[in-house]
A and B are shown apart, each in its own frame.
Chain A
Amino acid sequence: MDTIVQQLINGLSLGSVYALIAVGYSLVYSILLFSNFAHGGFLVIGGYICYFVLRSMEMSIWVAAFAALFGAGVSAVLVEKLAYRPIRERTPITLYMLIASMGMSIVIENIFVVTIGGRFRALPPVFPSGLVDFMGVATINQSDLLSLATAIVFLVALQLFLSKTKWGLAIRAASYNLRVAGLMGVNVNRLISIVFFVAGLLAAVGGIFLSVKYTLYPQLGAMITTKAFVAAVIGGLGSLPGAVIGSLILGLAEMLAAGFISSQFRDLIVFALLIITLIVRPTGLFGKSVGEKV
């Protein structure tokens, strides 16, 4: 019993981190219909900004986190302007943007490797890291609780932004049909910039918590984004609730498979789950089954 509770907590804590990243994937996908593999790079940018503001400038965590969120958001907008917009303006085929995003992800990772080096960096102890006893049957690190709470806050804020604001309405309209939204007078380029800014900002939130949890290094983005991408696909690419649910399912599946079946077979089981999901529901759990319109 103790084990189940502990493994469930472990799974939720892992899933909540996946969720912050997966939501960014889904957000971009819902508008531009391609998977932005450079998303992991924004996470790393956020992590490093937070690290340097804390270490070199010795600012408070609030300043550092704000700088990280803003910086990652701006770099996401820049990446879109530099790498995706020229392609977007020339061809409607999203495959090219997908490939450009793979390139950008390698570029961002290597910029950090070359300029800062591959060393593992730990954020200064600005987050509480004590242990919380969970009804005597399990323990959980305070920073995990904090990351869970922060993830919820940001996901709710995102939901409010999308449902209550004018730009949120425009984004939702664009996710149905970008062209028609443009014809209705929405400034499409600005809309896309906003979407990338929000995605970058969420990635930075994930980046900060990931650096606290697993330390900061240039490849951090690459390793976590594969998982977050899988989670977004399980939930249905393009669907935000789907991304969150998919992430929690993936986190729990990983923990339970490793904990109760076999840690050696974990990835086999988890990816079999992905394939079964795709066979049964090709659009994922919450995906739109609109299909390509001719």
Chain B
Amino acid sequence: MKKMLVLLTLLSIFAAGAAFAADPIKVGYLAALTGDYAVYGQTEVNASKMAIDEINAKGGLLGRQIELVVYDTKTRNEDAVNAVRRMIENDKVVAILGANSSGINIATGPIVNRGQVPQIATLATNPNVTVDAKGNVLPYSFRICFTDPYQGALAAELAANTLGKKKGAVLYNVGSDYAQGFREFFVKNYEAAGGEVVADEGFRESDVDFRAQLTKIKNSGADVMLLPGMGKDMALAIKQAHDLGMTDLTIIGGDGYGAFMNEIAGDAMKGTYWINHTYLEDPGMAPVFENYKRVYKDDAKEFVNITMAYDLTYWLADAITRAGKAEGPAIAKALTETKGLKLNHATLAIDPKTNNPLNKAGVILKVGDDLEAKFFEKVEPK
């Protein structure tokens, strides 16, 4: 009996081998798997793998299986650039998914465009990810998220009009492309909406103590503060603001929000607002989150990363199918021509002039008394 089983297993492996004899389609995933933002990166890779396993189980694409080649950026531009070179030259990937930060994608842009391998960012919101300094589109650079001008406008609208706070402060990382862009567009729109920026404070990437800047903001009389940052620095700033007794200050942050911030800032998170791409209660994503929790035995806290990486993988699958062949230029063309593609979190169409998604809605979350980020409002672009 045992021998029979072994034989059967061997046979089935042979059968499977024959069916999938064609080389797999290699797709790269670029993510920060170590470093400060490893949580986001690991979640994205997991979510993308889950989508790829689903696609492979249904027979793959163009009769071939997909293989994910994962590289760590270590949150450093130079490591990301090396990783992308290796993906293109050694691994011969046909497309690259990720990364999730503007700085990394701006750094890798020239390489993927020279190598003619499309790269799709998950959460890189800086305009220069997909267009060069002169405003010309980079034909191989894409993203699935909205951009900072829009995010900045949403934050300004929320602060000045929805909440009626007209004295604003900004605390941003001077070394981050994302923070610089977000801040610039917030200030522009906030001033247009009748707000006044009374404090504009910076810090450096590795800083963990913002009390000097916060004390200045406290004395400036600001009633709302924008944090265009990443999870750790925003959470520490919120905690320290609370320690300085700045409890009346309304805090608005961007899509760097992560649930782990509760561990750092605790009760100080209550009542904070977050501009985001999606929300946990999104009915379209519920089955995906369920699956994710089951497969990875994880509580799916980084739901934005799951959503973006999962839907991104299906977007690429759709483009490869439409392209009819697994080659960079054909896939890039198919990605640019995406129209009315129904994904779990949104219906996607791409603007060929900028390679940005058209008309993506923004979501505003508010952290409730139970420290859960709840849906506050959905803002359709005007």
Please list the residues of chain A having a beta carbon within 8 angstroms of any beta carbon in chain B: 2-3, 6-7, 10-11, 14, 110, 113, 117-122, 125, 129, 131, 139-141, 144, 213-215, 217, 219, 222-224, 226, 254-259, 262-264, 266-267
Nearest residue (CB) in A for B217 is: A263
Contacts of A255 in B (CB 8 A): 211-212
Once the chains are docked, how many angstroms separate the CA of A144 from the CA of B243?
10
Q: A118-B34, A119-B38, A215-B263 are in contact. Are A223 and B206 (CB under 8 A)?
A: yes
Interface size bucket, B side? Answer: 20 to 34
What secondary structure prevails in chain A residues at the interface with B? helix
Q: Does B215 lie at the interface of the complex (its beta carbon under 8 Å from any beta carbon of A)?
A: yes
Closest Cβ neighbor of B42 among chain A residues: A117
Tell me whether B202 is interfacial, beta carbon within 8 Å. Answer: yes
Complex contact B212–A120 (CB within 8 A): no
A110 to B74, CA, bound (A): 11
B residues in contact with A217, CB < 8 Å: 36, 232
Given A255-B211, A258-B212, A264-B202, CB of A139 within 8 Å of CB of B245: yes
Q: Does B185 count as interface, using CB distance less than 8 angstroms? A: no
Contacts of A224 in B (CB 8 A): 208
B14 within 8 A of A: no
The reply to whether A215 and B38 contact each other, CB–CB distance below 8 Å, is no
Known: A122-B263, A214-B236, A223-B206. A259 touches B36 (CB 8 A): no
Bound-state Cα–Cα, A226 to B232, Å: 19
By Cβ-Cβ distance, the 6 closest A-B pairs, closest first, are: A118-B38, A258-B212, A122-B263, A264-B202, A214-B208, A10-B211
Does B293 reach chain A (CB closer than 8 Å)?
A: no
Question: Do A122 and B38 touch across chains, with their CB atoms under 8 A apart?
Answer: no
A6 touches B244 (CB 8 A): yes
Judge whether A10 and B215 touch: CB under 8 Å. Answer: yes
Using Cβ atoms and an 8 Å threshold, which residues of chain B touch A120? 39, 231-232, 235, 260, 263-264
What are 14 contact pairs spanning A and B, CB under 8 A?
A10-B209, A117-B42, A118-B33, A118-B36, A120-B232, A139-B245, A214-B236, A215-B235, A219-B36, A224-B208, A257-B212, A263-B203, A263-B213, A264-B201
B174 at the interface (CB under 8 A from A): yes
Q: Which of A117, A118, A223 contacts B208 (CB 8 A)?
A: A223
| Interface membership of B216, Cβ < 8 A | yes
Other than A263-B201, A266-B212, give 18 A-B pairs with Cβ distance below 8 A: A3-B216, A3-B219, A10-B212, A113-B34, A117-B42, A118-B33, A118-B39, A119-B38, A119-B39, A120-B231, A131-B245, A140-B243, A141-B243, A214-B208, A254-B209, A256-B212, A263-B212, A263-B216
Contact pattern, B 211-240, Cβ under 8 Å of A = 1, otherwise 0: 111011001000000000001100110000
Q: With the chains together, A139 CA to B215 CA distance in Å?
A: 11
Chain B 186-220 per-residue mask, 1 if CB under 8 angstroms from chain A, else 0:
00000000000000011110101101110110010
Q: Does B59 contact A (CB under 8 A)?
A: no
Q: Are B212 and A7 in contact (CB under 8 A)?
A: yes
User: Does B35 sit at the interface, judged by CB under 8 A?
Assistant: yes
Given that A215-B264, A217-B36 are contacting pairs, would A139 and B212 also be in contact in the complex, using a CB cutoff of 8 Å?
no
**Nearest chain A residue, comparing its CB with the CB of B199:** A263
Complex: chain B residue closest to A121, CB-CB: B263
Which residues of the other chain, A, contact B174 by a CB distance below 8 angstroms? 264
Complex: how many Å from CA A213 to CA B263? 12
- Chain B, residue nearest A13 (CB): B211
CB distance from A145 to the nearest CB of B (A): 11
List the A residue with the shortest CB-CB distance to B40.
A118
Q: A131-B245, A141-B243, A215-B263 are in contact. Are A117 and B38 (CB under 8 A)?
A: yes
Q: Is the CB of B35 within 8 A of A139?
A: no
